[in-house]
Amino acid sequence: MKITVDLDVCEGHGQCEFAAPDVFEVTDDGSVDYQETAPESERAAVVKAAAVCPVRAIVIGD
Amino acid sequence: MDRIAVVGASLGGLRAAESLRVEGFAGEIVLIGDEQHEPYDRPPLSKSYLTGDGHLTSVLLPHTFDGTMLLGSAAVGLDTRQKLLTLEDGTTQTYDGLVIATGTEPFVPPGIDTALGGVHLLRTAAEASALRADLHDEPHHVVVLGAGFIGGEIASTCHDLGIPVTLVDMAPLPLARPLGHEVATILLERHQVAGTRFRLGVSAQRLTHDDSLQVSGVDLTDGTHLPADLVIVAVGVRPSTSWLDGSGVAVDNGVLCDADLSSVSTPGVVAVGDVARWTHPLFGDSVRVEHWMNAVESASAAARTLMGRGEPYAAIPSFWSDQLGHKIQGIGIPSCADEVEVDLTDGVLATYRRAGRVVGAVVFEKPRRLLAVRRDLAAQAEALT
């Protein structure tokens, strides 16, 4: 699955890392490092991460 | 169950309606809201919405809602025996299952006339638009009644706009209860350095006005007078439950819920978001949580409960506030702590304990530092269920 995070919108809330720790890693300066392509087994966790992002920065592709 | 009514068309109600579909509900869903607008996000209303272009589209919530939205008419009555809702416009709606998501409304202290020109509440988009217009009209002095999170964010917005602002609060140290004495002191000092003025340990007795019914100032309980041409009432909120009066749904500072968010009194009824009161399994306290994240997480928990797959709702509370360029983030329930440890070696990290056990943490910036505590609390909650 493809994942895009709008880093201009991201405020480093860190909710995504809690929901999907193998895909997202919040940085100390309030941004996020993430895998642009994640295994299908992570889909449920990534969907949760997108849902709990307060600024809706996460977009999930196919 | 063929028809579910969701009362309250903000974040919690919208996400509950969506979650019902995720849980496989194939019947009819009707989402009832008192405001004209489609569901929107409230956190920006005290921040970017006030300084930005003021277009509602920037805060509308994207959604996959599959049902009927009835907007612009509040639910005003509930008959739980006939399973019938009455709306403000006189129409009625039947239901088999009911989600209560009416949230909270600003509390207006006695003596404060919000009908005066230049006096604002801040809960809805309409109120934020009105406040935004007055803030851009170059007020000379803004007074905010209440120095909580919303008051602090409004003060921060005033700084961004170059407007002098005074916060009035009954507490000698605002935010001491939710954040503890040390962290509250740090935040107060940062506001004072930025130029926010404070009148603490006093409250507003009445507002004064000129001949054209524009606000001119605030009389305080210590007998002094604060001039103001713009006043914002942000002393707190209370649950929006008056429409449940006489319905038999048990209410006591929120809709009283069992651990799975079902009403303690009425079968087929659940509550979500900041209107719901339940005993948090991890902390053992009766809580009502007014955080954005709680609206989202309780919505999916309540949807599962309504579909017969409920379990104790034990999400770890999580919140944030943006003030003076700082992102303040917290988890757990710091207010229930009896001990706070503050580490200032790299920014601010506060760890809250009760009877020696960690119950929460707060950071300024560096959100990574919350994760360890959050995982620890989540693991404790997991072990309970």
Distance CA B18, CA B25 (A): 10
pLDDT digits (tens, 9 = 90+) for A20-53: 999 999 988 889 999 999 999 999 999 999 999 9
Sort out which chain B residues have CB atoms less than 8 A from A54's CB and list them: 43, 292-293, 320
pLDDT digits (tens, 9 = 90+) for B113-164: 999 999 999 999 999 999 999 999 999 999 999 999 999 999 999 999 999 9
Q: Which residues contact B268 (CB under 8 A, 6 or more apart)?
A: B1, B83, B96, B97, B98, B306
Give the count of Cβ contacts less than 8 A between chain A and B: 39
Sort out which chain A residues have CB atoms less than 8 A from B366's CB and list them: 28, 30
pLDDT digits (tens, 9 = 90+) for B295-321: 999 999 999 999 999 999 999 999 999
Q: Which of B43, B297, B367 sits opposite A12 (nearest CB)?
A: B367
Distance CA B317, CA B330 (A): 8
In the predicted structure, residue B79 carries a pLDDT above the cut 90: yes
CATH number at residue A45: 3.30.70.20
Q: Do B320 and A54 touch (CB under 8 A)?
A: yes
Sort out which chain A residues have CB atoms less than 8 A from B318's CB and list them: 15
- The B residues from 277 to 316 touching A (CB cutoff 8 Å) are 292-293, 296-297
**E strand or H helix at B191:** helix B181-194
Q: Looking at residue B346, what is its pLDDT?
A: 84
pLDDT digits (tens, 9 = 90+) for B158-214: 999 999 999 999 999 999 999 999 999 999 999 999 999 999 999 999 999 999 999
In the predicted structure, residue B218 carries a pLDDT above the cut 90: yes
Q: Do A30 and B327 touch (CB under 8 A)?
A: yes
Sort out which chain B residues have CB atoms less than 8 A from A52's CB and list them: 293, 296-297
To the nearest whole Å, the CA of B74 is away from the closest chain A CA by 26
> In this structure, are residues B215 and B116 in contact, taking their beta carbons and an 8 Å threshold?
yes
- The B residues from 328 to 367 touching A (CB cutoff 8 Å) are 329, 365-367
Q: Looking at residue A28, what is its pLDDT?
A: 83
Radius of gyration of chain B (CA): 21
Supply the range of the domain harboring residue A16.
3-60
In the predicted structure, residue B14 carries a pLDDT above the cut 90: yes
Q: Looking at residue A29, what is its pLDDT?
A: 83
Q: Which domains are present in chain B?
A: 3-53+60-105+238-306 (3.50.50.60), 108-235 (3.50.50.60), 325-384 (no CATH)
Question: Chain B contact for A26, CB < 8 A?
Answer: yes
Q: Which of A28, A47, A58, A59 to mutate to test the interface with B (most CBs of B within 10 A)?
A: A28
The whole-number average pLDDT for the span B49-75 is 95
In the predicted structure, residue B385 carries a pLDDT above the cut 80: no
In the predicted structure, residue B382 carries a pLDDT above the cut 90: no
Residue B339's closest CA among B182, B187, B188, B189?
B182
Count of alpha carbons within 13 Å of B228, Cβ hemisphere only? 32
Q: Do B367 and A14 touch (CB under 8 A)?
A: yes
pLDDT digits (tens, 9 = 90+) for B220-260: 999 999 999 999 999 999 999 999 999 999 999 999 999 99
Phi/psi at B376 (5° precision): -65, -45
> In this structure, are residues B200 and B171 in contact, taking their beta carbons and an 8 Å threshold?
yes
Distance CA B366, CA B63 (A): 30
To the nearest whole Å, the CA of B340 is away from the closest chain A CA by 23
Question: Chain B contact for A52, CB < 8 A?
Answer: yes
Q: Collapse the DSSP code of A7 into the 3-class scheme (helix H, G, I; strand E, B; otherwise coil) and give the result.
A: coil
pLDDT digits (tens, 9 = 90+) for B323-375: 999 999 999 999 999 999 999 988 899 999 999 999 999 999 888 889 989 99
Provide DSSP, A17-52: HHH-TTTEEE-TTS-EEE-SB--GGGHHHHHHHHHT
Count of alpha carbons within 13 Å of B254, Cβ hemisphere only? 23
In the predicted structure, residue B3 carries a pLDDT above the cut 90: yes
Q: Do A18 and B366 touch (CB under 8 A)?
A: no
ipTM above 0.90, yes or no: yes
Q: Looking at residue B124, what is its pLDDT?
A: 97
> In this structure, are residues B165 and B198 in contact, taking their beta carbons and an 8 Å threshold?
no
Question: Chain B contact for A40, CB < 8 A?
Answer: no
Query: What is the number of domains present in chain A?
Result: 1
The whole-number average pLDDT for the span B267-286 is 97
Nearest residue of chain B to residue A17 (CA atoms): B371
Report the percent of chain B where pLDDT is more than 90: 95
- What is the number of residues in chain B? 385
Q: Do A54 and B293 touch (CB under 8 A)?
A: yes
